[in-house]
């Protein structure tokens, strides 16, 4: 990648030093991708003492420090992702959250997972706008408007905005299977809840005049992995949605993330990242299909009929989660977490190269470990693929993964060339 629109990793000594080969924040085009913040006191390098409330405050302080180190403010946050190890702690975390977002509310995802690095009770990461962009002297630099939207046709949350648009992306708050009319989970089990999650996503998109097939990435948080087949059965009734998408067989990139528990005792939660072809002012209003969504699959990595390996839109590529599957056999590779991490990252590398990119274009890596105790072994292999530590990163322990895997990895890449009709 040239210096024209380069991956820009940044770190500050005022926030905790990283636990591995990653950067605190990585800017590319009009977004800053943040590494997940743990409740580490930067002065001691250790977890702060006290309850989850104290830990949450330290996470947000660390986040705020990194935000300010790149001359941004907390209202530039587009999305906040909160991971806890006890779902009952969410109310306490929310008390702290409100003090950092007293008026403006970003989109939000809350998940209870099995474990977090260092035995932390909470971990928080964020996505920020980057109005100045990384394209030198871009005419819209610093002037882009952030657009927020809520509709009564989907559940309204007092702590988040349903969708926040900035530049050429919409990020949605994770949707539970809540009926917006009653404010309660729908009855009927996993299929009914999955359908309601996706109906809520669709209602939000319709409220901002964006087609359902403009979704580029879906994250599904699932209470029980045994429910995957039931989820997929419902999923195929929503994707593809339009005639064009059905003709092309388009499905977005996708990651399934096991959750220890979800709010309201839900069985499933769906998070969507959506293209926004018309951009946000003062970008010119274009036909939203003028910027083309570019899906891609390669035979050098595992394929799945429910997802596309990578979907490019504007200046980002969103990858589906990669499992440590041998492409030739369709089975998990032999060995432990090192071998499996190697295989996952080889798939990522193969997909990146299939679209003319390199691993150096990576801006964010999400690692899901069956056993958080495998972090050191995972890190040993990870450093071989990312020796400069440029991407931002999130690591969580999820207790179980599809096919009994020990690790699962998804990534986001910069897309310097953009998608048509834009060129450098």
Q: Are 178 and 266 in the same domain?
A: yes
CA distance 25 to 36: 9
Residue 40 lies in a domain: yes
Question: Are 296 and 355 spatial neighbours (Cβ–Cβ below 8 Å)?
Answer: yes
pLDDT, mean over the chain: 93
Residue 160 lies in a domain: yes
Question: End of a domain among 108, 137, 166?
Answer: 137
Question: Are 153 and 99 spatial neighbours (Cβ–Cβ below 8 Å)?
Answer: no
Residue 289 lies in a domain: no
Cis peptide before 282 (omega within 30 of 0): yes
Q: What CATH number has the domain bearing residue 303?
A: 3.30.1330.40
pLDDT digits (tens, 9 = 90+) for 100-117: 999 999 999 999 999 999
Question: End of a domain among 95, 110, 137?
Answer: 137
Q: Residue 133: what pLDDT?
A: 83
Q: Are 149 and 214 in the same domain?
A: yes
Q: Are 185 and 133 in the same domain?
A: no
Instruction: Using pLDDT thresholds of 50, 70 and 90, give the confidence band for residue 6.
Output: confident
Q: Are 377 and 410 in the same domain?
A: yes
Question: End of a domain among 254, 282, 310?
Answer: 282
Residue 142: exposure state from Cβ atoms within 10 A (0-12, 13-18, ≥19): exposed
pLDDT digits (tens, 9 = 90+) for 336-345: 999 999 999 9
Q: Residue 164: what pLDDT?
A: 98
Q: Are 116 and 220 in the same domain?
A: no
Q: Residue 131: what pLDDT?
A: 83
Q: Residue 423: what pLDDT?
A: 42
Q: Are 252 and 311 in the same domain?
A: no
Please check the confidence at residue 141 and state whether its pLDDT lies above 60. Answer: no
Q: Are 71 and 116 in the same domain?
A: yes
Residue 106 lies in a domain: yes
Please check the confidence at residue 424 and state whether its pLDDT lies above 50. Answer: no
CA distance 424 to 416: 8
pLDDT digits (tens, 9 = 90+) for 366-395: 999 999 999 999 999 999 999 988 899 999
CA distance 162 to 270: 12
Question: Which residues pair with residue 175 across a beta bridge?
Answer: 270
Q: Are 6 and 132 in the same domain?
A: yes
Q: Are 126 and 2 in the same domain?
A: yes
- Our count of domains for the chain comes to 3
pLDDT digits (tens, 9 = 90+) for 7-62: 999 999 999 987 889 999 999 999 999 999 999 999 999 999 999 999 999 999 99
Residue 293 lies in a domain: no
Residue 196 lies in a domain: yes
Please check the confidence at residue 198 and state whether its pLDDT lies above 90. Answer: yes
CA distance 185 to 180: 9
> Domain range holding 79?
1-137
Q: Are 132 and 159 in the same domain?
A: no
Q: Are 184 and 259 in the same domain?
A: yes
Residue 291 lies in a domain: no
Q: Are 350 and 395 in the same domain?
A: yes
Residue 418 lies in a domain: yes
């Amino acid at each position: 990648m040239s210096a024209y629109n380069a991956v820009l990793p940044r770190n500050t000594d005022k926030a905790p030093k990283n636990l591995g080969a990653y950067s605190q924040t990585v800017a590319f085009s009009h977004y800053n991708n943040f590494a997940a913040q743990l409740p580490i006191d930067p002065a001691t390098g250790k977890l702060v003492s006290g309850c989850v409330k104290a830990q949450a405050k330290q996470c947000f302080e660390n986040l705020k420090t990194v935000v300010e180190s790149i001359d941004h403010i907390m209202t530039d946050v587009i999305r906040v992702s909160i991971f806890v190890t006890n779902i009952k702690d969410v109310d306490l975390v929310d008390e702290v959250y409100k003090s950092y977002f007293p008026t403006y509310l970003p989109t939000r995802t809350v998940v209870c997972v099995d474990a977090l690095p260092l035995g932390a009770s909470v971990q928080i990461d964020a996505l920020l706008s980057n109005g100045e962009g990384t394209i030198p002297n871009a005419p819209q630099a610093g002037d882009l408007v952030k657009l927020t939207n809520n509709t009564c046709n989907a559940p309204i949350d007092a702590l988040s905005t349903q969708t926040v648009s900035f530049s050429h992306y919409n990020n949605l708050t994770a949707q539970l299977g809540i009926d917006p009319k009653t404010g309660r989970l729908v009855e009927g089990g996993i299929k009914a809840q999955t359908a309601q999650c996706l109906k809520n996503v669709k209602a939000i998109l319709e409220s901002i005049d964006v087609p359902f097939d403009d979704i580029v990435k879906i994250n599904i948080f699932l209470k029980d992995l045994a429910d995957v087949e039931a989820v997929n059965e419902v999923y195929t009734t929503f994707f593809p949605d339009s005639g064009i998408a059905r003709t092309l067989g388009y499905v977005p990139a996708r990651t399934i993330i096991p959750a220890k528990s979800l709010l309201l005792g839900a069985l499933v939660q769906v998070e969507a990242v959506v293209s926004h072809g018309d951009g946000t002012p003062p970008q010119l209003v274009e036909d939203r299909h003028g910027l083309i969504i570019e899906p891609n699959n390669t035979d050098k990595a595992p394929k799945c009929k429910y997802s596309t390996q990578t979907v490019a839109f504007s200046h980002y590529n969103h990858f589906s989660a990669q499992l440590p599957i041998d492409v030739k056999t369709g089975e998990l590779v032999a060995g432990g977490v090192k071998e499996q991490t190697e295989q996952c990252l080889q798939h990522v590398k193969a997909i990146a190269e299939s679209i003319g990119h390199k691993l150096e274009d990576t801006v964010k890596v999400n690692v899901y470990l069956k056993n958080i105790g495998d972090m050191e072994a995972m890190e040993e292999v990870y450093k071989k693929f990312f020796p400069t530590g440029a991407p931002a990163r999130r690591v969580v322990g999820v207790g179980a993964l599809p096919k009994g895997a020990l690790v699962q990895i998804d990534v986001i890449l910069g897309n310097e060339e953009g998608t048509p009709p834009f060129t450098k």
